[in-house]
Structure 1
């Protein structure tokens, strides 16, 4: 699974660094390092909706406050099906 987080200026202001750090920790805590590839990207073109994330090319808008819910619903739940 490829998870790409926008780290462009608009998303950075909206908390991209915190989102990245939280996702790194959640992936590690859940032992998904071999199933989840975290990548960064500059500007995904949806600056009003940031922090922008794609999971296998599907777009999501995430904030530092809802990263854990996002992770559980769109990453952990999907990787569980692959196991």
Structure 2
């Protein structure tokens, strides 16, 4: 199971964290992956100067709403 945490702190929220979260949730729902991906919100991950912080299995990445789908395909899906 992949564990995905999305920063919902102020800086990430302003950079589109809600949009990233919505896209991930949509993909999980559309693909029936509820039992394979655990997704949750998280407070600041200390990378406020970058895009939205997304922690996947302990590694923090920076994702924008524009790159979220590609990130889901290339980083999250291979972990399943």
Normalising by the residue count of structure 1, what TM-score does the alignment of the two structures yield?
0.91
The runs of 5 or more residues in structure 2 that have no matched partner are: none
Higher helix share: 1
1:67 aligns with 2:68: yes
Higher strand share: 2
Which portions of structure 1, spanning 4 or more consecutive aligned residues, are displaced by more than 4 angstroms? none
The runs of 5 or more residues in structure 1 that have no matched partner are: none
Deviation at residue 28 of structure 1 after TM alignment? 1.1
Deviation at residue 77 of structure 1 after TM alignment? 2.0
Normalising by the residue count of structure 2, what TM-score does the alignment of the two structures yield?
0.94
SS of the equivalent of 1:75 reads helix
Q: CA RMSD in A?
A: 0.7
**Matched positions, count:** 79
